[in-house]
Structure 1
């Protein structure tokens, strides 16, 4: 009898610019009276807002839509070669004896890093046990330990870091801490991937917890679809899970489709909207016969994993280079995955900062395995983008798509950027000056503006009304400037007092100029 070549699915089975013009409540006249209303930064033409601080990323062409003599210079994250967490290959009784998948989450709370991930072990020879979800923690986010939780019996022992859930087959664990919920028993909310009792496909289930360790699961299949998620996040008062359809997607014309990113939404984490929406899609082949999960073209693996910055989101998706083999629809040992970089204004619709750009190549964060192991690497995104001090950390999975079943492996890695420096606006080669306009913004009370920039001392910030008419008190010779050469939050000061503009709708114009710094770079504008 010939055993079919395994793939992840078989492994685990065997074991538009949506900008509502001047939406209600966003114009100055419609704002509630008082400081609480004007302390919120609002972008009326986009329909976004932020409490406390708004972030205008340089790569966000909704919040910074118009520019001259400037182009994008995307960043390359630094990758820590060593994993932050590995499976316990030497311990056959460990829940992650085979693999530690970052279909997971990292939270930074009170100086401690908390990690939830998806474990894999042997159920029987040649058959995997999917899950359970496991937990680890760290003081520095670089070296994680696995506390003994004594919740789940694995191979006859409860001395492990597994988390108890009612399902015998679990995968990704995507969660957030929700301090807005008045019920402390619902402080932590999780969407996790599991196999429903009908066993036809993977889907999601929810759970709540007071501490992130002891969970109460919600009802089965709150979304009556097959889906495989990579993230769960809150934005604009709504909860989203971003996922790919499983086992298949229908594309234009009723034809088969490949892996693509969709969102499912709930307003209260109780009742889920059954309709889904497109979140981020790559092009399907023009030849409809060439579409589908088993066809060789680039697809979106598991959707988008973003972080919300209040008025905008930035995130990653996996560029799934599908390379199926004869008699192997998945591409065992041949399919691979890189990362693309995307931004959004509303939590649903994502767009690439630069179309087709590979933000991180699979070979730039690659597990170190014996040379005889033949594999392709797949980068896995999750709830792993964490801003800590002056750093943006990107925790992620390194999934070994091995040619041989016995070589299956996954570990958790870390890539870093200077805080919020996903990419910059910089001058064209040869240009001496360039500029960029913001979308209209209603300035908050006691507004402060800072720049995340290199060469900030050569930049100036002018203020105009929403129709681009310069306000003389804050433009030209009276424009705002930075005294510091740069940094992650260089303060901008004007000769005049911008407090007089509180509650008014204005546009910002940032001007970059070569000078003492030969290549000025603007990464973000912060307004609080």
Structure 2
């Protein structure tokens, strides 16, 4: 570990060995109203039709900044019932906020829309753009490259990526070349293990060289300039057993846009789109006749990764954010399905909260226009899910009804020493012991001398040992063992373990 290691309860790699405990996934709190909507009644707005969150949010110096994918009209018309053949895709638009809920769209004066530059569009060299993903890279010594963007333009043939840099997130210098010439619809962009990673959606061949559906892929750059050829399988859903039933025009669940993830240093956590595919009728008179207008829906599933590239579900098949719990703003008198678009670069920890910005796309029937807005879900910080004792079942756990334990993976403690904190409820029902790499408990940090917290519950419950701090173990490789005991008045839950360098 360096400055901090985060061991999430949902991570069965960093917390691999578990006795009489199970996973209890959390349910976020949803804001019913969207936080960003299109400017339907403003003919000069670049987002007159839709404000899609194939986007990003950064929180820095007390201010929230958002970049999103705007859809407008190529010529004046009815934005409420827009002709899909006359829509613009892009430009990238910008918004900012003091609280992350009430957003303003500043007049940037960069892009002309119907003779006016009084709008919030970002100037970039590509006319047709879908996704946009931004990080603030404080490790870059050049202040002109502090903000880094990967966006998703059309190169005339297919969707590719181009990078850009900025000192402030508003004025951007785009690279003079595309990062890749291969199809990729992007979902997120972040740094992990000092590599730049872009997640997205491709339609790869399935086994045996047969057609396949939408699946999650990731591409990599060591320096943000050169992107390696090829990709890695970030996250896949199963293909049908019969090859004839596979493909993007077949009715089965697929991965929409790949994984929208963020890096916490020791782990990446994200969401993927659980795309309930229903093909269109193939009408050549329709734009995107292959698409199931008024039929396709999408939920969001939770995934994690310990290398930033390969993701897995903590609970397979679990819908983490349901379209039924946070539906798009409806059309009166209609019951159209909602497509949730995973947050991209919209997962961020701010203070005591984990905020999840994501898109809500109302999938209306053809001829009813385009509908997209930005939504928000909130968790207590890092409380994606918990580990807690299994329900009492004398047939299976006769000796362990009220006790369980969790072992960590080996951790090399920093030379400066570190502190251990638990993100937990009923922390006083927990103790923390330390062992060597081979599970041999250390006498000064186990048994009667195990670490305890004086806090009942909290996001940062400090653990103290009778023998003093962990400075004597600096530089050593150890494991943590978290013991949980339940009584009649409490049901302890562990959400995360933090190791923070002194």
Q: Does 1:404 align with 2:366?
A: yes
SS in 2 for 1:353: coil
For 1:290, the equivalent position in structure 2 comes to: 245
- Determine the C-alpha separation between the residues in 2 that align with 1:167 and 1:370: 33
How does 1:171-320 map onto structure 2 within 5 Å?
A: 171-196=130-155, 199-245=156-202, 248-320=203-275
Q: 1:35 maps to what in 2?
A: none
1:487 to 441, 458, 479: 458
Counterpart contact for 2:330–2:362, Cα < 8 Å: no
| 1:134 alignment partner in structure 2 | 93
Partner of 2:112: 153
C-alpha separation between the residues in 1 aligned to 2:128 and 2:177? Answer: 13
8 Å contact kept, 2:21–2:387: yes
2:277 alignment counterpart: 322
Secondary structure, aligned partner of 1:234? strand
**Corresponding residue for 2:316?**
355
Is residue 377 from structure 1 mapped to residue 334 from structure 2 by the alignment?
A: no
Task: Give the C-alpha shift of residue 52 in structure 1.
Answer: 1.2
Q: In the alignment, which residue of structure 2 is the partner of 1:19?
A: none
SS in 2 for 1:457: helix
- Contact conserved, 2:431 with 2:482, CA < 8 A, in 1? yes
Q: How much is the aligned-residue C-alpha RMSD, in angstroms?
A: 1.2
Q: Give the superposition deviation at 1:123.
A: 1.1
TM superposition shift of 1:370? 2.9
From 66, 77, 89, give the equivalent of 1:115: 66
Q: Could you report, residue by residue, the CA deviation over 1:288-307 in whole angstroms, capped at 9, with x for unpaired residues?
A: 11111111111111111111
SS at match of 1:480: coil
What is the CA–CA distance in structure 2 between the aligned matches of 1:425 and 1:179, rounded to whole Å?
34
2:381 aligned residue:
419
Q: Distance in 2 between matches of 1:440 and 1:169?
A: 48
Instruction: Give 2:475's aligned residue.
Output: 503
Q: Give the CA deviation at 1:63.
A: 0.3
Which residue of 1 is the match for residue 420 of structure 2? 449
- The answer on whether the counterparts of 2:71 and 2:89 sit within 8 Å (CA) in structure 1 is yes
Deviation at 1:427, TM superposition (A): 0.5
1:75 is aligned to 2:23: no
Q: Distance between the aligned counterparts of 2:279 and 2:272, measured in 1? A: 20
Tell me: CA distance 1:514–1:146, structure 2 relative to 1, closer, same or farther (3 Å): same
- C-alpha change, 1:375 and 1:409, in structure 2 (3 Å) is same
Write the deviation string for residues 116-146 of structure 1: whole angstroms up to 9, x where unpaired: 0010011145411111000000001000000
How far apart are residue 411 of structure 1 and its match? 0.4
Match of 1:521 in 2: 493
SS in 2 for 1:406: coil
Q: Is the 8 A contact 1:374 1:403 kept in 2?
A: no
Secondary structure at 2:74 match in 1: strand
Question: Are the aligned partners of 2:15 and 2:408 in contact in 1 as well (CA < 8 Å)?
Answer: yes
More off after superposition, 493-502 vs 352-361: 493-502
| 8 Å contact kept, 2:330–2:336 | no
The 1-side partners of 2:276 and 2:330 are apart by 21
Say whether 1:332 aligns with 2:298.
Answer: no
C-alpha separation in 1, matches of 2:413 and 2:183:
44
Q: Which moved more, 1:331-340 or 1:369-378?
A: 369-378
Deviation at 1:517, TM superposition (A): 4.5
Q: SS of the residue aligned with 1:203?
A: coil
Aligned to 1:477, which of 416, 438, 448? 448
CA contact (8 A) 1:224 1:274 kept: no
Check the 8 A contact 2:329/2:362 in 1, yes or no. no
SS at match of 1:253: helix
1:433 aligns with 2:403: yes
CA distance in 2, matches of 1:499, 1:205: 47
1:368 to 319, 325, 329: 329
Residue 304 (structure 2) pairs with residue 343 (structure 1) = yes
Unpaired runs of 5+ residues, structure 2, are 76-82, 283-288, 393-400
Count of residue correspondences: 475
CA distance in 2, matches of 1:105, 1:370: 27
Distance 1:373 1:203, change over 3 A: farther
CA distance in 1, matches of 2:132, 2:406: 40
Q: Which moved more, 1:160-169 or 1:211-220?
A: 211-220
DSSP 3-state at the match of 2:177? coil
Distance 2:331 2:201 in 1: 33
> d(CA) in 2 for partners of 1:373 and 1:118?
25
Deviation string 1:4-53 (CA, Å, 9 cap, x unpaired) is xxxxxxxxxxxxxxxxxxxxxxxxxxxxxxxxxxxxx2xxxxxxxxx311
Q: Residue 37 of structure 1 aligns with which residue?
A: none
Structure 1 counterpart SS, 2:112: coil
Q: With the length of structure 2 as denominator, give the TM-score of the two structures.
A: 0.93
> In the TM superposition, what are the counterparts of 1:29-68 in structure 2 within 5 Å?
41=1, 51-68=2-19
Name the CA distance, whole Å, in 2 between partners of 1:85 and 1:64: 38
TM-aligned CA distance change 1:467 to 1:440, over 3 Å: same
* CA distance in 1 between partners of 2:336 and 2:479 (Å): 51
* Residue number among 345, 350, 355 corresponding to 1:388 in the alignment: 350
**1:405 to partner: Cα distance:** 3.1
